[in-house]
Amino acid sequence: MNKEQIGCCGAFCGTCPVIKEKQCKGCKIGYQTGERDIKKAKCKMKVCCLQKGFISCADCSDFDTCDILNSFYSKNGYKYKKYKESLDFIRSSGYEKYLEIANIWTKQYGKLK
């Protein structure tokens, strides 16, 4: 398990079926190695997070007031609530504890307790 599998938004790419089916490259994969160019990324959250050198948006001091995050988490859909819960959990309990739990999920989000 590694922290590169945690999406900037709180999704856990390590258990994501879309990544396993090779239909998505994930949030961070390829940017550190230069295989992908962050300047071409369309996701504002990813660009901001990676350019600041964060593991996820949980590391940002603007977490509670960020317009990009607030816009993302205000979308309709269960997964957005779960992604926010993941980042809140990381902020309170840390990445290692999050990875221990997330590794048993069957998709990119799951129960945290």
Q: What are the extents of the domains in the chain? A: 3-102
Q: Please give the structure tokens belonging to residue 38.
A: 């962050």
pTM summary value: 0.90
DSSP 8-state assignment for residue 58: G
CA distances from 49 to 6, 61, 77 (A): 12, 11, 22
Residue from 40, 15, 9, 39 nearest 27 by CA: 9
Cα(68)–Cα(81) distance, rounded to whole angstroms? Answer: 15
Q: Please give the structure tokens belonging to residue 48.
A: 């901001």
Cα(59)–Cα(52) distance, rounded to whole angstroms? Answer: 10
Query: Does an H or E element contain 68, and which?
Result: helix 67-73
pLDDT, position 86:
97
Q: What is the pLDDT of residues 44-101, one digit of tens each?
A: 999 999 999 999 999 999 999 999 999 999 999 999 999 999 999 999 999 999 999 9
